[in-house]
Structure 1
Amino acid sequence: MTEPARPPDPILLTVVTGFLGAGKTTLLNRLLRDPALADTVVIVNEFGEIGLDHLLIETVDEDMILLGAGCLCCTVRGDLIATLEDLLRKRDNGRIKPFRRVIIETTGLADPAPILHALIYHPYLVMRYRLQGVVTVVDAVNGAATLDAHPEALRQAAVADRIVLAKRDLAADGGDALAARLSGLNPAAPIDGPDVPAADLLGGFFGLDGKSEDVRSWLGAEALHDHHHGHDHEHHHHDVNRHDATIRAFGLTSDAPVPRAAFEMFLDLLRSGHGPKLLRLKGLVALADEPDRPLVVHGVQHVIHTPVHLERWPDDDRRSRLVLIVRDLDPAFVTSLWDAFLGRPRPDAPDAAALTANPLAIPGG
């Protein structure tokens, strides 16, 4: 008598979340260098009109999938489910190499509750995937203010199975006060440094034991939402570059290489005049003196991290591309400022020389 076919081992699934600029991509780059993660598929979700995160992750090949349709909320939850199902079909049909693990890196603005609900309760996904855990990255420099200002950041920390506290070397107290706050918010989650081994960080399985009642209620609210709305999300189509009434994502580009001095002055004026409103800045820039070695730029609020040069462009697009996520800041003004420093002013653009002489002339500065 032929024994029934043994069901395949579940594919382990990890969600890496954390607010804008916390250090998710840096952590993911390090984890993917571990040989133990060689058979891992990465799904990157981005918020904004220009996709960049997938270029800044080092292993970009057929195992990289970019969801660029906005936040991983109910608007694109169907896309996430479809992506995970499509991965299974390709794996089962031999169209991609076998993989044992999937890592989903969410946009920094993602509320994790809809994501987790989809992964825990979808009838087909739970047969093939096993949610191993949620890793939340928190920025030790800006983390306390972010928790105060953004409910998404609180939820990201509360649902975590492990918390990675990044940039402790830049925090005044080494991040100790923030670590204590995070422990109070989620006492079941160990708090690690960014160098924690992959095997330790990705071990275990997701569960609600030890998490707050808020986490249970958030997931319950998602179940109620699905009961009323099903998977038809026509009610929720919105601008993929707008997260809410105050937060916008937009891009700046330049086909021609950018003079180094002009770019440095642009960054300095933006940081000094609008630091608290600059939730995230990231990009690749072709400087006029080194156009073949793109400059990788990262910034969070008033902190612009030391840029580094790549040895080569990660794709065939050699334009300078910056993505900005701002709160209560007019993208048209920032675009005009960018154009002014690049020597392509419009009639309504500010005067770069005047702004350099008087930074307080920046609206809202």
Structure 2
Amino acid sequence: MVLMKQNKTPITILTGYLGAGKTTLLNRILTEKHNQKIAVIVNEYGEVGIDNQLVVDADEEILEMNNGCICCTVRGDLIRILNTLVLSMEQGKVKFNRVLIETTGLADPAPVAQTFFMDKHLSEKFEVDSIVTVVDSKHITKHLDNHDEAQEQIAFGDVIILNKTDLISSDDLNSLERRINQMNPTAKRLYAQNCSIDLNEILGIHTFDVDRKIEIDPHFLEEHHHHHHDDKVSSIAFREEKPLDLDKVNHWMSYLVQEKGEDLLRYKGVLYIKGMKERIVFQGLHMLFSGRPDRRWKESERKITELVFIGKDLNKEELEKQFKNCIAN
């Protein structure tokens, strides 16, 4: 076990495959009383940032990184953000007890953690507390079969939260546990619905052990690290200032789930619906989707629909045409 040095700011890396519940857990962390000031770095795969809009209004610093994956294309942005945080703390502008990094669902957490060992300046200021992996108990078996990232996220986790346990049978849960145990027998297990856990189980637990990570990945402390995403997986984003028709949106989503559900890894957004004073927060994962009224649109806020689809073999022109058909008359 690696103990924190008191002058270093602890880092919690929050990972997990698309739709596992990372943002739900992040909101729980930001709204519960833990007497800590947390800087949050949110990374999204697509060019439109949705997760930052789904994070609750909290007295925290929320820093957004879009249009790339934190473990490869925008890793330099992570280093710049962290150095900016260090400078702000040294100048007395801000004070943080901890930094929480929420990775995209397609990220390999290893190079993210590696950042704090390979960059000398950051290694003097920060220390990795733990890697927390959120698992969608219902869909993870399918993801483990088809996506290396899902395997990497579990293998590198210090804490594995088996989320959505209410959606599977006890036999399926036992089978999943056996599979996870083969990949990572030493990680602490937590069981949850809607990521409802005791935060003391994941914050300030000092479970990141670099020797254990080298056992998993012998090249962990080497400078080069190549991470290739599945070429079939892409992200498509839509923005629209005109209001949408709710019935048309529901019809479209029902069609998409039936026709493309297996290929839709994740889809989410904030909808501007004609005749509604509230934002509609929309989230989907394969065949499961839901939309719910959120807070009211603010007077000073520009009303706009923003949608992101992450999936396999997506046809942008076809999706865009269907999306445009949802605009209210």
TM-score when normalising by structure 2 = 0.90
Matched, 1:329 2:326: no
Matched, 1:316 2:305: no
Residue 85 of structure 1 deviates from its aligned partner by 1.0
In 2: Cα distance, 1:152 partner to 1:48 partner: 17
Residue 330 of structure 1 deviates from its aligned partner by 1.2
Q: 2:31 touches 2:58 (CA, 8 Å); kept in 1?
A: no
Aligned residue in 1 for 2:113: 116
Aligned residue in 2 for 1:265: 251
The residue identity in structure 1 corresponding to 2:220 is L
In 1: Cα distance, 2:84 partner to 2:267 partner: 32
Structure scoring higher RCO (CA < 8 A, sep ≥ 6) equals 2
The residue identity in structure 1 corresponding to 2:297 is W
Matched, 1:65 2:49: no
Q: 2:279 touches 2:294 (CA, 8 Å); kept in 1?
A: yes
What is the DSSP-based 3-state SS (H/G/I as helix, E as strand, rest coil) of the residue aligned with 2:201?
A: helix
Q: 1:113 touches 1:218 (CA, 8 Å); kept in 2?
A: no
Residue 176 of structure 1 deviates from its aligned partner by 2.9
Residue 10 of structure 1 deviates from its aligned partner by 1.1
Aligned residue in 1 for 2:141: 144
In 1: Cα distance, 2:246 partner to 2:283 partner: 16
Matched, 1:177 2:172: no
**Higher Rg:** 1
What is the DSSP-based 3-state SS (H/G/I as helix, E as strand, rest coil) of the residue aligned with 1:99?
A: coil
Moved >6 Å (runs of 4+): none
Residues 238-283 of structure 1 deviation map (CA, whole Å, 9 limit, x = unaligned)? xxxx954211111123222211110100101111100111011011
In 2: Cα distance, 1:178 partner to 1:25 partner: 23
What is the DSSP-based 3-state SS (H/G/I as helix, E as strand, rest coil) of the residue aligned with 2:307?
A: strand
The residue identity in structure 1 corresponding to 2:260 is H
What is the DSSP-based 3-state SS (H/G/I as helix, E as strand, rest coil) of the residue aligned with 1:90?
A: helix
The 1:93–1:224 alpha-carbon spacing in structure 2 relative to 1, beyond 3 Å, is: closer
The 1:212–1:268 alpha-carbon spacing in structure 2 relative to 1, beyond 3 Å, is: farther
The 1:156–1:142 alpha-carbon spacing in structure 2 relative to 1, beyond 3 Å, is: same
What is the DSSP-based 3-state SS (H/G/I as helix, E as strand, rest coil) of the residue aligned with 2:272?
A: strand
Q: 1:295 aligns with which of 275, 280, 293?
A: 280
What is the DSSP-based 3-state SS (H/G/I as helix, E as strand, rest coil) of the residue aligned with 2:218?
A: helix
Aligned residue in 1 for 2:224: 225
The residue identity in structure 1 corresponding to 2:321 is S
Matched, 1:254 2:240: yes
What is the DSSP-based 3-state SS (H/G/I as helix, E as strand, rest coil) of the residue aligned with 2:34?
A: helix
Q: 1:31 aligns with which of 20, 29, 32?
A: 29
Residue 218 of structure 1 deviates from its aligned partner by 4.8
Residue 179 of structure 1 deviates from its aligned partner by 2.3
The residue identity in structure 2 corresponding to 1:195 is S
Segments of structure 1 that go 5 or more residues without pairing to the other structure are: 1-6, 230-235, 237-241, 345-365
Residues 87-138 of structure 1 deviation map (CA, whole Å, 9 limit, x = unaligned)? 0100110222x11100000000111121111123321111111110000001
Task: Point out the more displaced range, 115-124 or 263-272.
Answer: 115-124
How many pairs were matched up?
Answer: 319
Q: 1:283 touches 1:298 (CA, 8 Å); kept in 2?
A: yes
What is the DSSP-based 3-state SS (H/G/I as helix, E as strand, rest coil) of the residue aligned with 1:310?
A: strand
In 1: Cα distance, 2:236 partner to 2:249 partner: 18
Residues 285-314 of structure 1 deviation map (CA, whole Å, 9 limit, x = unaligned)? 122231x2011111111111x322112237
Identity in percent: 33
Q: 2:36 touches 2:98 (CA, 8 Å); kept in 1?
A: no
Cα RMSD between the aligned structures?
A: 2.3
Aligned residue in 2 for 1:104: 101
The residue identity in structure 2 corresponding to 1:310 is D
The 1:218–1:324 alpha-carbon spacing in structure 2 relative to 1, beyond 3 Å, is: farther
Residue 201 of structure 1 deviates from its aligned partner by 1.5
Residue 320 of structure 1 deviates from its aligned partner by 1.3
What is the DSSP-based 3-state SS (H/G/I as helix, E as strand, rest coil) of the residue aligned with 2:46?
A: coil
In 2: Cα distance, 1:76 partner to 1:31 partner: 25
Aligned residue in 2 for 1:339: 324
What is the DSSP-based 3-state SS (H/G/I as helix, E as strand, rest coil) of the residue aligned with 1:219?
A: coil
Q: 1:75 aligns with which of 73, 76, 83?
A: 73
In 1: Cα distance, 2:184 partner to 2:196 partner: 21
Q: 2:271 aligns with which of 285, 288, 298?
A: 285
Segments of structure 2 that go 5 or more residues without pairing to the other structure are: none
In 2: Cα distance, 1:32 partner to 1:60 partner: 7
In 1: Cα distance, 2:292 partner to 2:182 partner: 36
Q: 2:242 touches 2:328 (CA, 8 Å); kept in 1?
A: no
Aligned residue in 2 for 1:192: 190
What is the DSSP-based 3-state SS (H/G/I as helix, E as strand, rest coil) of the residue aligned with 1:133?
A: strand
The 1:37–1:324 alpha-carbon spacing in structure 2 relative to 1, beyond 3 Å, is: farther
